[in-house]
Structure 1
Amino acid sequence: MTTTSQALGALKASLDRMPDPAGRAEAAALGAELATVQGVRHPIAVSSGTAALHIALVACGVGPGEEVLLPAATVIMTVSAVTATGTHPVFVDAAEDGRGMDLADAAAKTTERTRAIVPVHLAGRTDGLIDVAAYAQSAGLHLVEDACQAQGSTARGRTAGTVGTIGCFSLKDGKIISCGEGGYLLTDDEALAERAAAYRTHWLTSAPGSPAASRCGMNYRLAEPLAALARHNLKGLDQAVGRRREQARRLYDLVGDISGLTVHAPAPDDAPNGYSALWRVGLGRPLGLQRPPGRVANSVGTYRLRAAHQHPACRDLSPAGCPRGASSRPTR
């Protein structure tokens, strides 16, 4: 007769052998293909880019009472992933040239409670990533890359999302590779991957120091039909990046020289994916860029994006001033 403990042991062993306890073949296959395409050992498909960021921070052990550094010049979704862990986001000002974070400001805001730093590759740009990685290593911080817009971008020859502890990507419509909604994480750290996979699926699988069902997790699984779409589109990643870069180049050519607009070029050693063409705006009325009808949709006039530390949702976070971050949002 099989005892209860034997039955539970057999169930645990079965769960541990499964990449996903729901037996999701498409999601598992997508992970295997991402490993080949991105050159990492442990890709994990999830339900969104925001979920990927949340899971990554949880897997790194970041939690209540601790702090995470992130750029002031980012979108609210990055902030939401940080606050979802109960961690306090600390906004870092932009570098003087508008490329990435000001590492002097990051150092000044690093405390004994700081556990991670999250560079955000907006518009596919990996500005200052390698320097941020060096700072993270020297300060003993996890580097969690928000590469949701940076599929196919590189920084000094290194693929975006593979430089830090964990890289986080989105598969939402409009991204270089999409499936309507979804995301994935990339890491070479097996222990982090196991914790991420466990948290993604209500902790139904074990992770180092945490047996199956010993902790609470979330349902952040990627639906099978969406995983199948992502697999199909992943096959054309190189072509999609090439097309996006060409579209950005043509847009630069079409806009040409306009007083008050300056092309915001990437660093010489970076190769962005062309997610967006970028200009620095020196116009007296930048919101006028959305008029007349027929103008290309842009972040300043059409979407009116603002730096995260100035976002209404962040008022209760007591954000420090980041004067360059507030003005370093080039139009796209």
Structure 2
Amino acid sequence: MPEQDTAHEAIGAVLARMPDPVGYHEARALEAGLAQAFGVRRAVALSSGTAAIHTALAACGIGPGQDVLMPAVTVVMTVAAVVATGAHPIFVDAADDGRGMDLKDLAAKTGPDTAAILAVHLAGRTDRIHEVAAYARTAGLRLIEDACQAQGTTTGGRNAGTIGDIGAFSLKDGKVISCGEGGYLLTDDTDLADRAAAFRTHWQTPAPGAPGGSRLGHNFRLAEPLAALARHQLQRFPEALAQRRHQAVTLHHAVDDTPGLEPLHPADGEHPNGYSALWRLTLPEPRAFSTRLAGAGVPNSVGTHCLTAVHRHPACAHLATGDLARAQATVDALLAVPFTEHDTDDVLRELALTIRQEAARWQAR
């Protein structure tokens, strides 16, 4: 049976039960499937990746008067989730090599109000997560992973999002597993899972130390039709993951010897999910070059989505903590080209040709 037909059947079965109350059957089944697929005790389905990060923070007890250490090299949605809890985000500079947070800056910015570290796995990479996890344990801090772009990435034999206390994921379109909009959490801590499940539904269900109705929460439930679609997508996760990795390898092979583009190879022991192909630009005016590529039909994080270090984002400038020059330089020089399941080898060849041609023109200016 064609894949599209089975997706229609999955959603149709749910729609047939509506508008009568349908309980939480599809979402609970999705949670069971996710927990099994990623080898953890619990999964909690949510309405978006941002809601997942917010819920993870709330489940860890993060709130007003507390600080959360997080990379300055991230997307604004991660910051929004921290601010929504009432906590204060503390931005950490990039490491000298641009891979992950600077551990010295992380330690220097840890203070008496610091309650957690929020690591972010941009473009499917988990740079220095094991070192960050070791520091979190030593400092007695919660470690939350924003793995929204890292479904299926492994590092040191561990799945991204399962190394810290709790990991947040997105099911938005474009992710390896997607249903248009949605998210989920993974954890081995059943208390955290229970608190997350209570928080996502106005605390109508009990959690350890907090009976049902004893606290305020949110409506962060994943709609049943979307949960049904996510369950269908989860069944083909291995194939989708293999396709993304094939796409990344194919584009890298076609582009890596281009002057002005330095491929960012995975760290030892890391097996990325192929969310994006990654290069460090050594061309002059790299941000302008990324914008030029976007205009030429090559989607990328800087040129298309205007990624910037978050302390430079207009909505976050008042939260800035120091100069964070390495973070901005890291983002400016980053060329991250994402994929979708519709990007055939022919499409990738066209992208590669455009990148090579535009880089040559840029050098010759």
TM-score (norm 1): 0.91
- Residue 351 of structure 2: aligned partner: none
1:222-272 CA distance string (max 9 Å, x none): 000000000000011111111101101111122242222100111021111
Report the secondary structure of 1:297's partner residue: coil
- Give, in whole Å, the separation in 1 of the partners of 2:81 and 2:280: 28
Shift of 1:305: 1.0
**Aligned in 2, Cα 1:144/1:70: closer, same or farther, shift over 3 Å?**
same
Contact 1:290 1:297 in 2 (8 A): no
- Residue 104 of structure 2: aligned partner: 104
1:77-106 CA distance string (max 9 Å, x none): 000000000000000011111111111100
Contact 1:126 1:160 in 2 (8 A): yes
Contact 2:49 2:183 in 1 (8 A): yes
* Bigger mean CA deviation after superposition, 122-131 or 253-262: 253-262
Report the secondary structure of 1:327's partner residue: helix
1:128-187 CA distance string (max 9 Å, x none): 111110000000000000000000001111110110000000000000110000000011
**Does residue 332 of structure 2 align to residue 331 of structure 1?**
no
Shift of 1:300: 2.6
- Give, in whole Å, the separation in 2 of the partners of 1:279 and 1:183: 28
Of 318, 321, 328, the residue aligned with 1:319 is 321
Report the secondary structure of 1:36's partner residue: helix
1:202-236 CA distance string (max 9 Å, x none): 00001111111111110000000000000000011
Gap runs ≥5 in structure 2: 1-20, 337-365
Gap runs ≥5 in structure 1: 1-20
Shift of 1:320: 2.0
**Does residue 312 of structure 2 align to residue 310 of structure 1?**
yes
1:58-92 CA distance string (max 9 Å, x none): 11011101100000000000000000000000000
Aligned-pair Cα RMSD in Å: 1.4
Shift of 1:319: 2.5
Amino acid across the alignment from 1:299: S
**Does residue 282 of structure 2 align to residue 282 of structure 1?**
yes
**Does residue 169 of structure 2 align to residue 165 of structure 1?**
no
- Residue 84 of structure 2: aligned partner: 84
- Give, in whole Å, the separation in 1 of the partners of 2:326 and 2:231: 40
Contact 2:121 2:127 in 1 (8 A): yes
- Give, in whole Å, the separation in 1 of the partners of 2:290 and 2:97: 23
Amino acid across the alignment from 1:221: R
**Aligned in 2, Cα 1:212/1:289: closer, same or farther, shift over 3 Å?**
closer
- Residue 126 of structure 1: aligned partner: 126
Amino acid across the alignment from 2:303: G
Shift of 1:322: 1.1
Amino acid across the alignment from 1:252: H
- Residue 66 of structure 2: aligned partner: 66
Amino acid across the alignment from 2:170: S
Contact 2:310 2:317 in 1 (8 A): no
Report the secondary structure of 1:89's partner residue: strand
Contact 2:290 2:335 in 1 (8 A): no
**Does residue 301 of structure 2 align to residue 299 of structure 1?**
yes
**Does residue 207 of structure 2 align to residue 207 of structure 1?**
yes
Report the secondary structure of 1:196's partner residue: helix
Amino acid across the alignment from 1:322: L
- Give, in whole Å, the separation in 1 of the partners of 2:292 and 2:88: 39
Contact 1:290 1:296 in 2 (8 A): no
- Give, in whole Å, the separation in 2 of the partners of 1:328 and 1:315: 18
Report the secondary structure of 1:123's partner residue: helix
Amino acid across the alignment from 1:185: L
What is the 5 A alignment of 1:115-194?
115-194=115-194
Shift of 1:296: 1.6
Shift of 1:41: 0.8
TM-score (norm 2): 0.83
Shift of 1:22: 7.2
Amino acid across the alignment from 1:237: F
Amino acid across the alignment from 2:41: R
* Bigger mean CA deviation after superposition, 287-296 or 243-252: 287-296
Contact 1:289 1:295 in 2 (8 A): no
Shift of 1:288: 2.8
Tell me the number of residue pairs that the alignment of Structure 1 and Structure 2 aligns.
312
Report the secondary structure of 1:328's partner residue: helix
Amino acid across the alignment from 1:73: V
The sequence identity of aligned pairs, in percent, is 61
